[in-house]
Every structure is written in structure tokens, then in C-alpha cells.
């Protein structure tokens, strides 16, 4: 079951980590705030986690912690939480998000994580058959809204277009909606491309890990 | 170009921006976000925006309507931050109110501290009174209770809460002469950690590895995985080894 929850106590038993480590990793941003699910149970307030995500993350941390410092791990595992100013070089960026990104936003150096995610969304839209100018809309809105990237749970960006037919002139206006699910658009508009931000952020992190 | 130093010693107002040393010893106001090397408020200072500096000291009355970021923050007067506070070292011996969360490496509080959201730090030591509406998370938590403190949740590695012993007398210029029995107390919903020692604490759930419940505690439920000691003057309604 992908949405299975596991209690904090079970996590400690299964992984052998201590309360101290769990709280420290949360403080550093290695375990996202959004994964902490507070539930009332018969024995009082308890904290649960999405089982698959938390166990994967803890084993990643455990396998890395001998060679890497906490801050380096944050860079790799939760770049959205890493201290402002972390940037990635163009060659790393293009490998991580796709060559298409070059047409959308070109920088000599130092892409921020928000830009990386924005570019990944844009590249994906182009690969799905979108035009450069509509993909650009996605890139522009995503890189300006970092708060969605820090907490991407349930957030989606929808690239849509609206056809306007007035007195024989017909135009197609593309637009992007960035919101938390459920995202609805009016019936006269057509969604072209939908981006699940949580999945996208995860994917960018993974590919960053691979190319670094 | 060297950054400009500003001193307001009467009554004055400056715009936001990038400064060297900013001193407010009269009544001063900063309109907008400010970045500086050092900000010292010893009179009454208001920053209508966010503040970022290497060192911030408030010994009079200070108010920040935005976020505050400093390597070192020291408050010994009355200070209110309406946004979040992020500091390397955070010391408070006066009265400090933070509307958002407090993130630091080191927190030392001997005055009164009120925080609207979470406190996240490596070390938290308090010998004052605090009211934290969110989670207090730290590797080491050392609390000497004075007055009644409250926190929703505490989580960390080593957590130690000690009550004032017996009869206590306090003499201070601002609060006058006080004496009384028992000293302080702490209320929390949950306390979780590896090594716990608690006194004068009222909590719903305490979870830990090695747990010692000292005098004056009333705990609804203790869950422990290695050892548990309960003092004879403590009340634990339910204890579970897991």
C-alpha cells in the first residue's frame, strides 16, 4: 500500500534510530515537515509517517552519514530545505532536468533549486508536445513561487488554454494555474499539461543525486 | 564603499536599507527592511519590516514587524518580533515575544519567552518562564523551572526539567520581593526523547528510552523502551514498556 502510515515508535524500532536523531534530521530539513501526520489515538496524540517515504529516507541518510555531513545530505536529499544560496552549475542542471531547459532560461552559472524545478516542468511540457512559449509560462510562475516548492504536498501547476471565438476571430490564450489540489478550471478551457509538484520535486532531487 | 553608521539618540526615523552600525537610544523608527552589521536598541526602537544583522541587541524596548535574522541576538529589555526569528545564538533575559518560530543553534532564556510556533535549536537552556505554542525541538533541553511554563510538545535527545527546590526567595528591581513554595511547573502535551528526567511536570504522554519521573510530576502515560524510574512524589497513571 503506497499510503500506508507507520507510527513514530515503529519507525524507531524498525530503523534503530533514536528520538534525538529523528528530531535533529527534522530540524535540518532532512525529513520534511509535511510527512509528520498528527493523529489522535486511544493513547493520546501520536505522530505517523508515510511508511514508504520515511523508511526510504532514513536508509538513505544512514547509508550516507559516514561520508557526508548533515548539510551535504540536506543538499542532496532536500535541496528545497538547504540554506538559501545553494546553486547548481549549468552542466549539472541540464543533465538533471533535460536539454530543453536551455531554451527556457539560460544562465552562465548558479541555478537555484526553484529554477531547477521550474525548468524541469518546462522541459517536460516541451517533451509532451507543448510549445516553447507556453512552457515558458510554467517556468516563470514556478520559479517565482518558492513557497510551493518548499511544501509541494498536494500542489499542482496546470497549463491550460482557452479558446475565444468572437465575431469570426478566434484566438487561443494559454495560461497557467498554480494551486493546491483540487485544481479546477472553467469548462471552456482545456488543460494541456498537468504538473504534480510533489512528484516533480522528488524527481528533480533524484536526478540531481545521480548527476552529482 | 563603507556602509553608513546611524545613531538616533533623540527621536528620529530612517528608511530601510543597508547600514553599518545602527544605534537607537532615543525613540527611533526604521521604515522598511534593514540590513546592518550591528543593530543596538537601548531606547525604544521600531523596525517596520525585517531586520538582518550580525549582531542585534535590544535592551530597551524593541519591535520588529517582520522576520529577524542575526548571528547573535541578545534581548534584555522588552522585545517583540512579529515574524520568525533566526539566530545563531539567541539569549533573552528580558521579555521576548516571537509571533512566528524561533530557529537557532543555541537558545538561552532567563527572562520570559513567548513563541507562537516552533522552537528549533541544538541546545535550549532556560531558567525563566516560557510559553511555546508549537514544538520545542533540540538535542539538549535543560530547563530550570521558574514560574509556570507551557509548551505543546518537546522532542530531542536529552531532556532535563528541574523544579526550583523548596522555599525560594527572589529579589529583583522590577518585580520586587517575592517568595513562595515550590517554584515553577511545566505543562506539555507530549515529551519525547532518549534520556529524560522530569520534575514538576504535567504531561499527557512521555515517551523515551531511559525515563526518570521526578517529584511533583503528573503524567497520564509513560512509554519507555529501556528503563523507567518513578519518584514516590510523582503520579504516573499508566506505564507501558515497548
Question: Domain map of chain B by residue range?
Answer: 1-86, 122-165+182-242
CA A141-A143-A171 angle, to 5 degrees, is 25
pLDDT, tens digit, 9 for 90 and up, residues B80-128: 999 999 999 999 998 999 999 999 999 999 999 999 999 999 999 999 9
C-alpha cell at A103: 531554451
Say what the pLDDT of residue A104 is: 78
The mean per-residue pLDDT over the stretch A147-159 comes to: 79
The answer, for B156 touching chain A at a CB cutoff of 8 Å, is yes
Q: Which residues of B touch A27 (CB under 8 A)?
A: 120, 137
The predicted structure's pLDDT at residue A65: 80
In whole angstroms, what is the distance from residue B103 CA to residue B105 CA? Answer: 7
What's the pLDDT at B218? 94
Buried b (16+ CB within 10 A) or exposed e, B158-179: bbbbbbbeeeeeeeeeeeeeee
Neighbouring C-alpha atoms within 13 Å toward the C-beta of A112: 16
In 3D, which of B166, B176, B97, B154 has the Cα closest to residue B129?
Answer: B97
- Cβ under 8 Å to B: A residues 10-29: 13, 18-24, 26-27
- Residues A40-68 pLDDT 10s: 877 777 889 999 889 988 988 888 888 88
Could you list the beta-strand ranges (E) of B145-166.
Answer: 148-162
As a whole number of angstroms, the distance between CA B75 and CA B93 comes to 6
For B120-134, the pLDDT digits (tens) are 999 999 999 999 999
Whether the predicted pLDDT of B194 surpasses 70: yes
Under 8 Å between Cβ of B216 and B185: yes
What confidence tens digit (pLDDT) does each residue in B12-50 have?
999 999 999 999 998 999 999 999 999 999 989 999 999
Q: Which residue of A20, A26, A45 is in closest CB contact with B157?
A: A20
Instruction: Looking at the complex, report in whole angstroms how far the Cα of residue A88 sits from the nearest Cα belonging to chain B.
Output: 25
How many angstroms separate the CA atoms of A113 and A170, rounded?
Answer: 39
Report d(CA B26, CA B12) in Å as an integer: 8
Residue A33 has what pLDDT?
Answer: 82
Pairwise CA distance, residues A200 & B149, whole Å: 43
B 214-233 residues with CB < 8 A to A: 220-221, 223
Closest Cα to residue A117, out of A95, A89, A146? A146
- Share the mean pLDDT of chain B: 90
This model of the complex carries an ipTM of 0.85
DSSP string, A102-161: HHH---SS-B-HHHHHHHHHHHHHHHTT--HHHHHHHHHHHHH-HHHHHS-TTEEEEEEE
How does residue A208 score in pLDDT terms, banded at 50, 70 and 90?
Answer: confident
More confident residue, A9 or A104: A9
Helix (H, G, I), strand (E, B) or coil at A86: coil
CB-closest option in A20, A23, A44 to B205: A44
Which chain B positions have a beta carbon within 8 Å of A23's beta carbon? 137-139, 155-157, 192
Question: Per-residue pLDDT for B236 more than 80?
Answer: yes
- pLDDT for B60: 86
Burial class (CB in 10 A: 0-12, 13-18, 19+), B226: exposed
Q: What share of chain A is helix, strand, coil (3-state, %, to 5)?
A: 50, 25, 25
Amino acid at each position: 500500500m503506497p499510503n500506508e502510515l507507520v507510527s513514530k515508535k515503529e519507525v524507531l524500532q524498525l530503523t534503530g534510530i533514536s528520538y534525538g536523531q529523528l528530531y535533529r534530521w527534522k530540524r535540518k530539513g532532512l525529513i520534511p515537515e509535511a510527512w509528520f501526520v498528527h493523529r489522535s489515538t486511544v493513547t493520546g496524540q501520536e505522530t505517523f509517517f508515510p511508511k514508504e517515504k520515511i523508511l526510504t529516507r532514513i536508509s538513505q541518510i544512514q547509508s550516507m552519514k559516514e561520508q557526508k555531513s548533515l548539510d551535504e545530505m540536506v543538499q542532496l536529499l532536500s535541496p528545497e530545505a538547504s540554506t538559501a544560496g545553494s546553486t547548481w552549475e549549468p552542466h549539472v542542471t541540464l543533465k538533471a532536468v533535460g536539454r530543453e531547459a536551455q531554451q527556457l532560461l539560460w544562465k552562465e552559472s548558479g541555478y537555484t533549486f526553484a529554477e531547477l524545478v521550474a525548468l524541469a516542468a518546462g522541459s517536460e511540457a516541451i517533451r509532451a508536445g507543448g510549445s516553447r512559449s507556453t512552457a515558458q509560462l510554467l517556468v516563470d510562475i514556478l520559479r517565482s513561487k518558492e513557497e510551493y516548492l518548499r511544501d509541494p504536498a498536494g500542489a499542482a501547476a496546470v497549463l491550460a488554454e482557452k479558446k475565444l471565438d468572437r465575431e469570426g476571430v478566434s484566438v487561443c490564450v494559454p495560461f497557467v494555474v498554480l494551486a493546491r489540489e483540487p485544481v479546477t478550471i472553467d469548462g471552456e478551457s482545456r488543460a494541456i499539461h498537468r504538473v504534480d509538484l510533489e512528484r516533480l520535486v522528488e524527481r528533480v532531487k533524484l536526478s540531481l543525486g545521480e548527476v552529482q | 564603499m563603507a556602509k553608513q553608521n546611524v545613531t538616533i539618540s533623540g527621536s528620529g526615523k530612517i528608511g530601510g536599507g543597508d547600514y553599518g552600525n545602527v544605534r537607537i537610544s532615543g525613540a527611533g523608527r526604521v521604515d522598511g527592511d534593514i540590513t546592518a552589521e550591528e543593530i543596538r536598541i537601548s531606547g525604544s526602537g521600531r523596525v517596520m519590516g525585517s531586520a538582518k544583522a550580525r549582531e542585534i541587541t535590544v535592551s530597551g524596548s524593541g519591535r520588529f514587524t517582520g522576520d529577524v535574522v542575526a548571528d547573535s541576538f541578545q534581548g534584555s529589555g522588552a522585545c517583540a518580533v512579529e515574524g520568525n526569528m533566526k539566530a545563531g545564538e539567541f539569549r533573552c533575559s528580558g521579555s521576548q515575544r516571537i509571533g512566528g518560530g524561533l530557529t537557532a543553534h543555541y537558545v538561552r532564556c532567563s527572562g520570559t519567552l513567548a513563541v507562537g510556533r516552533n522552537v528549533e535549536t541544538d541546545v535550549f537552556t532556560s531558567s525563566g518562564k516560557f510559553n511555546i505554542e508549537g514544538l520545542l525541538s533540540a538535542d539538549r533541553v535543560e530547563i530550570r523551572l521558574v514560574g509556570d511554563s507551557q509548551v505543546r510538545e518537546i522532542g530531542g535527545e536529552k531532556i532535563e526539567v528541574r523544579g526550583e527546590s523548596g522555599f525560594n526567595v527572589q529579589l529583583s528591581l522590577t518585580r520586587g520581593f517575592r517568595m513562595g513554595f515550590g517554584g515553577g511547573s511545566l505543562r506539555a502535551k507530549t515529551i519525547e526523547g532518549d534520556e529524560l528526567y522530569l520534575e514538576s511536570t504535567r504531561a499527557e504522554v512521555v515517551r523515551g528510552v531511559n525515563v526518570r519521573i521526578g517529584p511533583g510530576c503528573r503524567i497520564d502515560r509513560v512509554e519507555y523502551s529501556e528503563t523507567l524510574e518513578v519518584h514516590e512524589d510523582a503520579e504516573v497513571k499508566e506505564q507501558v514498556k515497548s
